[in-house]
Structure 1
Amino acid sequence: MATKVLVLLGTNKGAFILESDAARRDWTTRGPFCDTWPIHHVVADPATGAIHAGGGNGWTGAAVWTSRDLGATWTHSGDGIAYGEGEPAIKSVWSLAAAHGRLYAGVEPAGLFVSDDGGETFTHVAGLRDHPSRPEWQGGGGGLILHSLVPDPDDPDSLHVGISVAGVFHTADGGRSFTARNRGTRCDFNPEDQRYPEHGQCVHSVVRAPGSGGRLYQQNHCGMYRSDDGGAGWDSIEAGLPSSFGFPVAVHPRDPQTVYLVPLNGDVDGRFMPDAKAAVWRSRDAGATWTDLRCGLPQDHAYLCVLRQALATDRLDPAGVYFGSNSGALFASADEGDNWRLIAQHLPMIMSVETLVIDD
């Protein structure tokens, strides 16, 4: 059985697809796709094999691009991606997730849309913006964006979302209502007596660990966290890391104890890897201890920033790990992070990295 491994990239000048076999040694690059629109997130629906790319800006409008032939041809649609009369115009699609026959889209200004026809039309999930905290949501450095979409693989009515700067919210009823899920996460930028509010946290990335335990990991503007109860409470797991600040987090495809992240040197000190030495940090014990993974990564003058959706794993054994930088470099490991190679460079700013494994 032949295996194809695709790495799907969203960049500020279109989508790109890298392809290899199961050995993951030699890679070909295709693109740019999507008419070189700014593309914030590219994902694959493993159930259908369709590739979806979300993006846009104030000039192009917001839309989701779709390819059903692994990138050979594309269509795009913004049908339904709009709020009601008197509401702000949607600037862009920032995040996508396919689950249970549905395609979710998170947008700027923060809101949630869903498609039941593979990205041809979308419907506003109004329950999120109906949350009573919405008048207090504020835009972070990247704007007021819904950037994390975390479906529950076992429950089609359960979904977590992450919004900067508002926090994590969860629905258990298919989007009719949402509750804030931020207990235990800090707001260091607030006055000291308001460091742990119900909402208003600057969450950067949220992912679900494999398995049925409801474990979530979160990289926040103010720390790294784990939840073992579906986000009802969060525990800090940043001890042992060089910084509490970073953007992405990724999980192992089979082991809920293994998690990856890319700490940066802080929010006001340049936002690059500490000491300009590239490293991905891995925990094999759910954040109790951390190891820096550097073999094959540049250790001199590596002023790299990895954005909130630009770190991913694949489902092979051993798992592949991938990250892309804001300078257009893409690094890959075929052995769960122990050794790294540069597999593409001189690309546009990489906004997102996701994978698709195809068994022919």
Structure 2
Amino acid sequence: MGCMATGENFVLAIGTKKGLWLATSQDRQQWSFSGPHFLMSEIPSIGIDTRDGRTRIMVGVRSEHWGPTVAHSDDLGATWTEPEQGAITFPADTGAAVERIWQIYPDAESRPGVVWAGAEPISVWKSTDGGEHFELNRGLWDHPHRSEWGAGYGGAAAHSIVVNRAGDNVHIAMSTGGVYRSLDGGTSWQPRNKGISVRFMPDPYPEFGQCVHKIAADAVVEGRLYAQNHHGVYRTDDNGENWNSIAEGLPADFGFVMLTHPRREGTAWVVPLKADGERIPPEGHLAVHRTDDAGATWKRLDSGLPGREYNSVLRDAASVDSAEPAGVYFGTRGGTVYASADEGESFTEVASHLPDVLCVRAAVISGVALQVPERAAAGGA
């Protein structure tokens, strides 16, 4: 028999090529797992919404038979709800169909119920009912640049969404197309890629067309964002008007991950990979790199990680929680998941032998009662 634990608890959601695994913990050291949920379905996106005093886990599910949808659970995966008509469905006049849901982004505490999503083909969606139904953003869908956007290696993806505190300033990133910004809450969009290079194009600094892999906002400085590009790591301090390289000090400027601290100014994490043809950790040595000064310097973090690792880490296969100190989590294409309870200073393996890890999300779930077994799972699933 187990006991009920309340207070500050943690949930870790792991989306893979063949289903979803959920884990809960009291201390970020011992984890209890459930799953697989949605076995044999791809889970490329997860959003954990802790607003309004509840914990809602939303997952982008892609079934080879039934297609893509967004399912949600309000009881840590004990039950799941899927809308009969599909949470994300293109209007008939577009002639389009959803291929994959790449991003699920709960908005700010001040806008409960608002959830954004990014999908393939390149599109942005907005829900006002907690992720149960989404409406297509026509400003981006009808954008005159659409015919010139392309597909990255993984598909034509709107994969990053960042909304400012006021809700009127929205940045998205797509592969391929680059960063676009809206100053009116999503009604109109303009490319904002000045300074981000495209080494493989005749014009290395086009207005748009970049293959930006991930963007994230600084926790404190309004208008400061960070970007991991196909080649290059960048920062903007003027709301996307100009991007400057912050790659000096990293072993490689390629990668997919970009994470920022939930509270502290200037702190971000990346996972460098060697590219283009290899896409493995440099020298086969997996490491996270953290900056605490907005990219002026970087610190290598590999305590607890394997001495040899040749699997890559995908753009959404990494996450931070909001605890103090912040937890850092990531999973590899080899099916191993690592967690750090000290902002990356040391890592432990929490799951292994899973299918390819596509998405990882972690959250603090204060006040939620957990059923804790006498021997909680640790180091595997």
TM-score bin (small chain): over 0.9
Q: Percent identity?
A: 41
Could you say what secondary structure the match of 1:157 adopts?
Answer: coil
Alignment of 1:181 onto 2:185: no
Could you say what secondary structure the match of 1:155 adopts?
Answer: coil
Alignment of 1:157 onto 2:163: no
Match of residue 135 from structure 1: 147
Match of residue 245 from structure 1: 254
Which deviates more, 239-248 or 71-80?
Answer: 71-80
Partners of 1:176 and 1:59 lie apart in 2 by 34
Could you say what secondary structure the match of 1:352 adopts?
Answer: strand
1:69 to partner: Cα distance: 1.3
Aligned residues: CA RMSD: 1.5
1:307 to partner: Cα distance: 0.1
For the 8 Å contact 1:322–1:330, the answer to whether it is kept is: yes
What per-residue deviation string (whole Å, max 9, x for no partner) do you get for residues 6-58 of structure 1? 1122211122211111x211111111223542111111112142111013155
Alignment of 1:171 onto 2:178: no
What per-residue deviation string (whole Å, max 9, x for no partner) do you get for residues 227-286 of structure 1? 1122121110001111111001111121121110000011212x1111111110111111
Match of residue 24 from structure 1: 28
Alignment of 1:54 onto 2:89: no
Say which of 338, 356, 359 aligns to 1:352.
Answer: 359
Partners of 1:245 and 1:10 lie apart in 2 by 23
Code of the residue aligned with 1:289 in structure 2: it is: T
Alignment of 1:197 onto 2:238: no
Could you say what secondary structure the match of 2:350 adopts?
Answer: strand
Alignment of 1:328 onto 2:340: no
Code of the residue aligned with 1:66 in structure 2: it is: H
For the 8 Å contact 2:41–2:64, the answer to whether it is kept is: no
Alignment of 1:4 onto 2:4: no
Partners of 1:144 and 1:13 lie apart in 2 by 21
Code of the residue aligned with 1:91 in structure 2: it is: E
Q: What is the TM-score of this pair, normalised by structure 1?
A: 0.95
Partners of 2:87 and 2:12 lie apart in 1 by 27
Could you say what secondary structure the match of 1:75 adopts?
Answer: coil
Alignment of 1:222 onto 2:231: yes
Match of residue 305 from structure 2: 297
Partners of 1:358 and 1:28 lie apart in 2 by 15
Alignment of 1:257 onto 2:263: no
Partners of 1:330 and 1:159 lie apart in 2 by 31
Partners of 1:108 and 1:59 lie apart in 2 by 17
Code of the residue aligned with 2:247 in structure 1: it is: E
Partners of 2:166 and 2:65 lie apart in 1 by 38
Partners of 2:195 and 2:244 lie apart in 1 by 6
Match of residue 348 from structure 2: 341
Match of residue 210 from structure 1: 219
Partners of 2:40 and 2:114 lie apart in 1 by 26
Could you say what secondary structure the match of 1:213 adopts?
Answer: coil
Partners of 2:345 and 2:289 lie apart in 1 by 10
Partners of 1:105 and 1:94 lie apart in 2 by 7
Unaligned ranges ≥5, structure 1:
none
Equivalent pairs counted in the alignment come to 354
Code of the residue aligned with 2:45 in structure 1: it is: H
What per-residue deviation string (whole Å, max 9, x for no partner) do you get for residues 118-141 of structure 1? 222221111012222111000010
Determine which structure has the larger strand proportion and give its number: 1
Query: In the superposition, relative to structure 1, how do residues 86 and 210 fare at CA in structure 2: closer, same or farther (>3 Å)?
Result: closer
Partners of 1:159 and 1:51 lie apart in 2 by 23
Q: Within 5 Å, which residues of 2 pair with 1:278-289?
A: 278-289=286-297
Unaligned ranges ≥5, structure 2:
1-5, 368-381
Partners of 2:288 and 2:333 lie apart in 1 by 15
Q: Which has the higher contact order (CA 8 A, sep 6+)?
A: 2
For the 8 Å contact 2:40–2:63, the answer to whether it is kept is: no
Query: In the superposition, relative to structure 1, how do residues 57 and 144 fare at CA in structure 2: closer, same or farther (>3 Å)?
Result: farther
For the 8 Å contact 1:327–1:347, the answer to whether it is kept is: yes
1:163 to partner: Cα distance: 0.5
Which deviates more, 234-243 or 82-91?
Answer: 82-91
What per-residue deviation string (whole Å, max 9, x for no partner) do you get for residues 131-183 of structure 1? 2211100001001011111122x122322111100011111212211111111
Match of residue 41 from structure 1: 45
What per-residue deviation string (whole Å, max 9, x for no partner) do you get for residues 290-327 of structure 1? 11111111112x11200001111111111111110011
Could you say what secondary structure the match of 2:306 adopts?
Answer: coil
Query: In the superposition, relative to structure 1, how do residues 122 and 186 fare at CA in structure 2: closer, same or farther (>3 Å)?
Result: same
1:97 to partner: Cα distance: 0.6
Partners of 1:346 and 1:139 lie apart in 2 by 30
Partners of 1:35 and 1:304 lie apart in 2 by 23
Partners of 2:296 and 2:304 lie apart in 1 by 25
Alignment of 1:70 onto 2:54: no
Partners of 1:240 and 1:275 lie apart in 2 by 16
